[in-house]
Amino acid sequence: MAFSDSGSSTLRPWALMLLRVAAAYMFLLHGWGKFQGGTPVMSLMGLAMALELVGSALLVLGLFVRPVAFILSGEMAFAYWMAHASAGNWWLPIKNHGESAALFCFIFLYLAAAGGGALALGRRR
């Protein structure tokens, strides 16, 4: 089965929606883990927890996708450089255990540029 550019344009918003919802759900689980672990709210990790919980919920719903995704991309870039790259081997995320942070950073950066895709509630406003 061959895919043409004209046929794929109708699938693009749906694929974007699947990426948005799947990434946001997995990111929500990171925030929920911090919440369950008793992360102090008035700390840097508490700020990350709040961004992850609120931001991922907004992304799942498709509200304020571009600005929220941009902020979360920045959070993940900051997390990568602070927690993973500082451990050494900044160019090897598999060695410094930063592959999730790097992938989330670039997925959210893409969502900030591309928008929310199909079924995003923000498209109805």
19: buried, middle or exposed (CB in 10 Å: 19+, 13-18, 0-12)? Answer: middle
pLDDT over threshold 70, residue 4: no
Distance of CA 25 to the CA centre of its chain: 9
- Residue 113 has a pLDDT of 97
- Report domain extents, the chain: 17-120
Per the CB < 8 A criterion, the answer to whether 32 and 60 are in contact is no
Q: What is the pLDDT of residues 94-121, one digit of tens each?
A: 888 899 999 999 999 999 999 999 999 9
Entry pTM: 0.88
pLDDT over threshold 80, residue 1: no
d(C-alpha 33, C-alpha 57), whole Å:
15
According to DSSP, residue 79 is labeled H
